[in-house]
Structure 1
Amino acid sequence: MTSNENNKRDSLKPGSSKNSWGLLPSDALESLKVRYWHNRSKLKSLLNGGIKFPLEVPLKPPKGNAVLQNMNHFQKFVISWKAFSKDGCVSEGKGCVVRWERRTFRSLSEQEIPTHLCIHDIASLAGLLGSNEERQLSEWQSKIQYVFDSLSSVLNQNIDGSNKTIRDQELFLALITHLEALDNFSQSDLELLCKLIPQLQQGIGEGCYLRALPVTFVDTKFIEKNLRIIESIAAAHIDSAAKDIGLMTWLDCREKPKDWLLVKPLCEETKKLLGGMPLLRLSSDTLLEFELPANNVLVIENEQSCLALRNVPNTIAVSGGGKNVSWMKAEWLAGKNVGYWGDIDSEGFSILSDARSKLSSITPLMMDELTVQTFAARMVPEPDSVSKAPIALTDKELALFKSLRTDCYIDRRLEQERLPMEYVMKNIASWIV
């Protein structure tokens, strides 16, 4: 499309037609841009064949007496589409055409009017919409071709024709699915991608973290940042299981820890057994496998409450997990005296229930009616949170939960930090073995 054609098209501002009929060229192009190009889901469907060409845009030609009611708009409607065609914006050779029909209207002679704008392929659509869209499509095509050429020469050497066609189609679909990532790839990113894929094999991680994956030329931060597109390409060109079970599992790589827990030995003996460390950060996955060297394990909802504790014999505290008590299904906990201390509120009882569902022998500390009655004056409001009764509470715990929810006390929450330290230490001393 020439610069004069672009200028002419751009001079037709969107929204120039306010009628219910007679779509003008500027309106049709704006409709196409919004409906297809700016809608990523539909754009991907156009690119991968999910939405079939040709696209036909109804131009809403007039019916009945509509022409007589607005003759000026009718003339503009017909003239603008004739000009649009004559300026070279559409033609059979360009993959676009305006369909015309001869129709008769009352009080008018037979008229030839435009009825549809037909677009036969994605390149024609981009050409109609403008130079930015043409450039964008060209960049996508160039990047896709680079990936195809780079990977086919390495991975398709011993593949027969039919299987190669299937692999290439799956690769194309994978690239279109991750069009946003591809759009942001520089040439150096594409080179890294194509150097990486042939190195990937099932189990190559051997249980390590992703950053330790044994690959050359490619930095592992690139893999971490682009995990999803790498997964799809590996599934398309190496092994479909990479997507079926997930790339991390397929590679045999461990997920990066996200749920760090605070571990504090509460006496000198357990501190020495932890290498003299007064505080540690361990992930849930680590605690599933690593047995803490103490007979008593105290799980505490709030880190500040944990930090306030000291001089508790043969005890290690674990805190900061909040709702994350997944590690409490660890087999080694079955041989320990495990306690849970949280806020007396709906969230605290919900966490206690979840913890008990993983470890039935757990003992709740200071989460009873006596504690509430003793320190009721220190209670604070609780926003509506857990309304459904947790399933793994004892009868007494469930009764207290319901009493809190029905405003039987001054307020609905007694935070663990509001309990005096002498009360806390007395209850912990009664619990330890």
Structure 2
Amino acid sequence: MKSPAELTLSLRRQWENADKRETRLLGGENAWPVIHSIGLPTSKEMFSDLDSVKRHVNEWRQVNVGEVIWEGVRYRATSGPVEMPVQWKLQQPTEWINACADQTIHNEFKSLTLLAEQTDPLFHSLLIRRRSLWLSKRLDEVVQAAHLAMELESGCAAGTPLRAISLGGIDTKFFERNARLVTALLDTRFDDEVSRIGIEAFLGAISEGDHWLLLMDLDGSLLPFRRQRVRSSELRESILPGKRLLIIENESCQHQLPDVPETIAVLGSGFDLGWIEGHRLQERKIGYWGDIDTWGLQFLAKARLTVQQLDALMMTSEVYEQHSYAAVPEPIIAGVDLPTGLSNPERALYKRLLKEPKGRLEQEFLPQKFIRETILSWANS
């Protein structure tokens, strides 16, 4: 048999479970009532520990939240049925919260109620499941972030910094304070595309912050470490060793790269390609490899505007056709306008991808043998 205090602790633990929290707050009538079994004293307890049983019954008689369901139970030690509490039924979220008898949970529920009233239903599941996104923030700023996330669109920054965006009455430090929250909200709207490529790249904003890039020494003797992270601002001021530089959009394909003499690879740059401008690249061979999708071609175009002699690797219609079995839909495109900097075949590929139901072929899904052979062929050409 469980006491009210024991079930109260269980209800508090359930509040900490994101799945239960979401189901009970958003599930409507289908999620309620919630019924918890109290359990019955054994015949032995009725015979040898009757005082404990009486205390148990009295504790449940004092519960005034929800509905305690009683049943007459027969025991050998009693002359007739004894009314015992068997279930605790909670009919709605407010009863659950009151039954928890916890001020922190009460405050969180109150905040979620306000957020549900003032934000788009699209975001309710996120806000309920990921409380860490907003618990430390002022609620009016969370509401403002949700309203902003409904106004922002792909490319809307048009080459300005995030701090220059003036939608929804935000101040210049808003993105700095709320980047994680706004990214999560936008991910909800745009199928996780924003966190995949970065909020600045998605909105078309110039990067003002320091982006960490992954450097890989494909030669094995050019850098002190085979892999190391460097800030983009520091890389801009540095001169990398070697005769070849391979720029790669995503870090996820690092395990697929071959050993290549005199070659450094820079991975994870995405839209942050400003560091290229600081390098003396005229005397070295430059390769660029990104996803075959509209975003990957946007990044390629930006890189080529800086380095005209850049070689695009594995970003052709032929590669797309040969490996289309691994293609997936691109939920949010980079834009319908062709980016400046693409070659004619690349422009044709961009137009094609806009029409393809599965217009994204991600780097890491290309066969490793094909990747290695292509990179080595480029290095030796």
TM range (shorter): 0.5 to 0.7
Closer/same/farther in 2, CA of residues 172 and 333 from structure 1, 3 Å limit: closer
SS of the counterpart of 2:32?
coil
Closer/same/farther in 2, CA of residues 113 and 143 from structure 1, 3 Å limit: same
Would the aligned equivalents of 1:65 and 1:105 in 2 still touch at CA under 8 Å? no
Cα distance between partner residues in 1 of 2:56 and 2:240: 82
The 5 Å alignment of 1:195-234 reads: 196-197=148-149, 199-213=151-165, 215=167, 217-231=169-183, 233=185
- Offset, 1:53: 2.0
Closer/same/farther in 2, CA of residues 199 and 333 from structure 1, 3 Å limit: closer
Would the aligned equivalents of 2:157 and 2:165 in 1 still touch at CA under 8 Å? yes
**RMSD between superposed Cα atoms in Å:** 4.2
The 5 Å alignment of 1:289-308 reads: 290=277, 292-296=280-284
Identity value in percent: 19
Q: TM-score, normalised by structure 1?
A: 0.47
Cα distance between partner residues in 1 of 2:240 and 2:38: 76
Residue in 2 that maps onto 1:155: none
Would the aligned equivalents of 1:143 and 1:182 in 2 still touch at CA under 8 Å? no
Alpha-carbon displacement from aligned partner over 1:74-105 (angstroms, at most 9, x marks no partner): 222222212x14xxx23xxxxx0111110111
Query: Greater CA deviation, 110-119 or 131-140?
Result: 131-140
Closer/same/farther in 2, CA of residues 26 and 287 from structure 1, 3 Å limit: closer
Residue in 2 that maps onto 1:38: 16
Closer/same/farther in 2, CA of residues 250 and 286 from structure 1, 3 Å limit: closer
Confirm whether residue 113 of structure 1 aligns to residue 84 of structure 2.
yes
Would the aligned equivalents of 2:163 and 2:172 in 1 still touch at CA under 8 Å? yes
Residue in 2 that maps onto 1:143: 115
Residue in 2 that maps onto 1:414: none
Cα distance between partner residues in 2 of 1:235 and 1:296: 38
Would the aligned equivalents of 2:3 and 2:59 in 1 still touch at CA under 8 Å? yes
2:107 aligned partner, one-letter code: R
Alpha-carbon displacement from aligned partner over 1:27-68 (angstroms, at most 9, x marks no partner): 22122212x123344323322228822221111112454422
- Offset, 1:113: 0.6
Residue in 2 that maps onto 1:101: 71
- Offset, 1:358: 3.9
Confirm whether residue 246 of structure 1 aligns to residue 216 of structure 2.
no
Note the residue ranges of structure 1 that are not aligned, 5 or more in a row: 1-21, 91-95, 149-167, 267-282, 299-326, 336-353, 364-433
SS of the counterpart of 1:56?
strand
Cα distance between partner residues in 1 of 2:160 and 2:177: 18
Confirm whether residue 189 of structure 1 aligns to residue 141 of structure 2.
yes
* Equivalent in 264, 270, 283 of residue 239 of structure 2: 264
Cα distance between partner residues in 1 of 2:11 and 2:376: 59
1:246 aligned partner, one-letter code: V
Alpha-carbon displacement from aligned partner over 1:325-377 (angstroms, at most 9, x marks no partner): xx9xx884669xxxxxxxxxxxxxxxxxx9997454659xxxxxxxxxxxxxx
Residue in 2 that maps onto 1:68: 47
1:57 aligned partner, one-letter code: H
- Which of 1 and 2 has greater Rg? 1
- Offset, 1:243: 3.3
Confirm whether residue 123 of structure 1 aligns to residue 94 of structure 2.
yes
Cα distance between partner residues in 2 of 1:46 and 1:183: 20
The 5 Å alignment of 1:25-424 reads: 25-34=4-13, 36-49=14-27, 52-82=31-61, 84-85=62-63, 89-90=64-65, 96-109=66-79, 110-130=81-101, 132=103, 133-145=105-117, 147-148=118-119, 168-190=120-142, 192-193=144-145, 196-197=148-149, 199-213=151-165, 215=167, 217-231=169-183, 233=185, 240=189, 242-246=190-194, 248=199, 250-253=202-205, 257-259=211-213, 260=232, 261=235, 263-264=238-239, 284=269, 285-286=272-273, 290=277, 292-296=280-284, 332=309, 358=375, 360=377, 362=379
Alpha-carbon displacement from aligned partner over 1:260-304 (angstroms, at most 9, x marks no partner): 2252389xxxxxxxxxxxxxxxx9553796573442579xxxxxx
Would the aligned equivalents of 1:33 and 1:129 in 2 still touch at CA under 8 Å? yes
Q: TM-score, normalised by structure 2?
A: 0.52
- Offset, 1:185: 2.5
Would the aligned equivalents of 1:223 and 1:230 in 2 still touch at CA under 8 Å? yes
2:212 aligned partner, one-letter code: K
Closer/same/farther in 2, CA of residues 124 and 75 from structure 1, 3 Å limit: same
Would the aligned equivalents of 2:8 and 2:100 in 1 still touch at CA under 8 Å? yes
1:182 aligned partner, one-letter code: W
Cα distance between partner residues in 1 of 2:212 and 2:85: 61
SS of the counterpart of 2:145?
helix
Would the aligned equivalents of 2:186 and 2:194 in 1 still touch at CA under 8 Å? no
Closer/same/farther in 2, CA of residues 331 and 49 from structure 1, 3 Å limit: farther
